[in-house]
């Protein structure tokens, strides 16, 4: 195993008993054609959801289920995982194939976020849940300290963007379709479009920003509702393998 992997461990704050697990987590499929790191991403994603979910459950005893779900989503997907990866300095340690390396894959947000999940899976396999949980909570400590329930009720545009990015969908488009009223009391109407889903929603507000936020909120509600219905349908129609 190359020493560079061992050099990463102080930044992670974790010493692997089985260093090969770290190497595996950092080996992108483009490097050797295997999907072992993706299996670790799957495991790490599940573990991260549990660890952060439990932390939020304990931190906000009066929060509703929807508030906890939105807070967790903001911490375990896309944008925030990329931030964690950059803080840990993962980019130079990810093993990539020639094509990904040439195109700057080590700086690509999706690859960085996947690497964080894979490392979490590797830590779990290396030492079990208590050690893995302790280290993940250290990575998230500063953010958890500043988190509040107000974070669940603001910035629909950011939440919509993160929802789309986590599913590798294009970002929404916003267009002013109407401006009315007098100059001192104008109102704006804005369309929010997600082309890949064929959805368009309108929002009205006293400013363009307010109208965009309202339209984004309607879009996000529809997408989340459709996603929940798809998940339910999948469960109901899956014949399973047990007899």
List Cα–Cα distances, 77 to 46, 114, 209, 221, 239, in angstroms. 12, 10, 25, 18, 30
Residue 45 known to be catalytic: yes
Residue 22 belongs to what H/E stretch? helix 19-25
The catalytically annotated residue of 45, 100, 189, 212 is 45
3: nearest Cα among 31, 26, 23: 23
Distance, CA of 71 to CA of 68 (rounded, Å) = 5
Residue 117 known to be catalytic: yes
Q: In degrees to the nearest 10, what's the CA dihedral of 146, 150, 156, 162? A: 30
The catalytically annotated residue of 41, 100, 114, 117 is 117
- The two most distant CA atoms of the chain are separated, in Å, by 70
Residues 6+ apart with CB under 8 A from 230: none
Residues assigned a catalytic role:
45, 117
């Amino acid at each position: 195993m190359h020493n560079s992997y061992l050099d990463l461990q102080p930044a992670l704050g974790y010493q692997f008993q089985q260093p090969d697990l770290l190497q595996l987590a950092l080996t992108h499929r483009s490097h050797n054609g295997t999907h072992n790191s993706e299996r670790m991403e799957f495991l790490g994603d599940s573990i991260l959801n549990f660890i952060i979910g439990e932390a939020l459950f304990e931190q906000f005893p009066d929060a509703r289920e929807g508030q906890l779900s939105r807070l967790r989503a903001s911490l375990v997907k896309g944008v925030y995982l990329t931030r964690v990866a950059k803080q840990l300095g993962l980019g130079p340690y990810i093993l990539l194939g020639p094509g990904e390396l040439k195109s700057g894959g080590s700086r690509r947000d999706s690859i960085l976020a996947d690497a964080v999940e894979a490392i979490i899976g590797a830590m779990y396999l290396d030492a079990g849940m208590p050690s893995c949980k302790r280290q993940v909570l250290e990575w998230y400590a500063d953010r958890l300290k500043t988190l509040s329930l107000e974070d669940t009720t603001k910035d629909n545009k950011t939440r919509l963007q993160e929802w789309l990015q986590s599913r590798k969908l294009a970002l929404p488009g916003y267009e002013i379709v109407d401006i009315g009223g007098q100059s001192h009391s104008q109102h704006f109407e804005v369309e929010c479009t997600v082309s890949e889903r064929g959805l368009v929603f309108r929002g009205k507000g006293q400013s363009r920003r307010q109208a965009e936020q309202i339209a984004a909120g309607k879009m996000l509600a529809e997408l989340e509702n459709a996603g929940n219905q798809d998940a339910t349908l999948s469960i109901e129609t899956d014949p399973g393998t047990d007899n």
